[in-house]
Copies of this chain bind each other. A is one copy, B any other.
Amino acid sequence: MNRHYAPASVQQAHDWVDQWPVASGSVELALHQAAGYLLTQSIKAATDIPLQAQCARDGYAVIAADTLGAGDYNPLVLRLTAADKTLGRGQAIQVSAGDPLPEGADAILSLSQAEPRHVMLDVSCSLAAGEGVLGQGEECQQSDILLAAGRRLRPQDLARLAFAGVKSVKVRRKPRVVLILAGHFIHDADGTMLSPLIARDGGELIGIQSATSRQTLDRQLTELDADVILVAGGSGYGHNDFAVQALHDCGEIGLDGVTIHPGGGVVMGRVTDKPVLLLPGSPLSCLCAYDLIAARLLRRMAAKSDPLPYCMQTFTLSRKLVSRIGQLELARMRIDGQFAEPLAVADDRLLSSSVRADGFTLLAENSEGHAEGSEVEVYLYDEYNQS
Question: Are A281's CB and B139's CB within 8 A?
Answer: no
Inter-chain CA distance A45–B381, complex, in Å, is: 23
Question: Are B83's CB and A239's CB within 8 A?
Answer: yes
Question: Are B187's CB and A287's CB within 8 A?
Answer: no
| CB-CB contacts below 8 Å: A48-77 with B | 56-59
Question: Are B98's CB and A56's CB within 8 A?
Answer: no
A194: chain B residues within 8 A (beta carbon): 155
Inter-chain CA distance A57–B288, complex, in Å, is: 14
Number of A interface residues at 8 Å Cβ cutoff, please give it: 77
Task: Check if A160 is an interface residue, CB within 8 A of chain B.
Answer: yes
Inter-chain CA distance A96–B280, complex, in Å, is: 10
A65 to chain B, nearest CB (A): 19
Measured CB to CB, the nearest residue on chain B to A151 is B355
Inter-chain CA distance A333–B98, complex, in Å, is: 25
Digit string of A147-181 for contact with B (CB within 8 Å is 1, else 0)? 10000101111111111110000000000000000
Question: Are B237's CB and A351's CB within 8 A?
Answer: no
A11 to chain B, nearest CB (A): 19
Task: Check if A31 is an interface residue, CB within 8 A of chain B.
Answer: yes
Question: Are A350's CB and B134's CB within 8 A?
Answer: yes
Question: Are A282's CB and B32's CB within 8 A?
Answer: no
Task: Check if A126 is an interface residue, CB within 8 A of chain B.
Answer: no
Which one, B134, B236, B311, contacts A96 given CB within 8 A? B236
Measured CB to CB, the nearest residue on chain B to A56 is B349
Task: Check if A140 is an interface residue, CB within 8 A of chain B.
Answer: yes
Question: Are B189's CB and A154's CB within 8 A?
Answer: no
Task: Check if A374 is an interface residue, CB within 8 A of chain B.
Answer: no
Instruction: Take A156-B193, A156-B355, A383-B387 as given contacts and tell me if A350 and B240 are in contact as well, using a CB distance cutoff of 8 Å.
Output: no
A140: chain B residues within 8 A (beta carbon): 352
Question: Are A156's CB and B282's CB within 8 A?
Answer: no
Digit string of A325-341 for contact with B (CB within 8 Å is 1, else 0)? 00000000000000000
A56: chain B residues within 8 A (beta carbon): 282, 349
Inter-chain CA distance A100–B132, complex, in Å, is: 75
Which one, B138, B200, B237, B355, contacts A147 given CB within 8 A? B355
A147: chain B residues within 8 A (beta carbon): 355
Task: Check if A382 is an interface residue, CB within 8 A of chain B.
Answer: yes
Inter-chain CA distance A241–B57, complex, in Å, is: 13
Question: Are A112's CB and B382's CB within 8 A?
Answer: no
A91: chain B residues within 8 A (beta carbon): none
Inter-chain CA distance A134–B346, complex, in Å, is: 10
| CB-CB contacts below 8 Å: A95-151 with B | 95-99, 111-112, 132-134, 138-140, 147
- The 16 listed contacts between A and B (C-beta, < 8 Å) are A58-B236, A97-B265, A98-B282, A133-B349, A154-B382, A155-B193, A155-B194, A155-B195, A155-B197, A155-B287, A156-B381, A157-B355, A160-B283, A163-B283, A382-B387, A383-B386
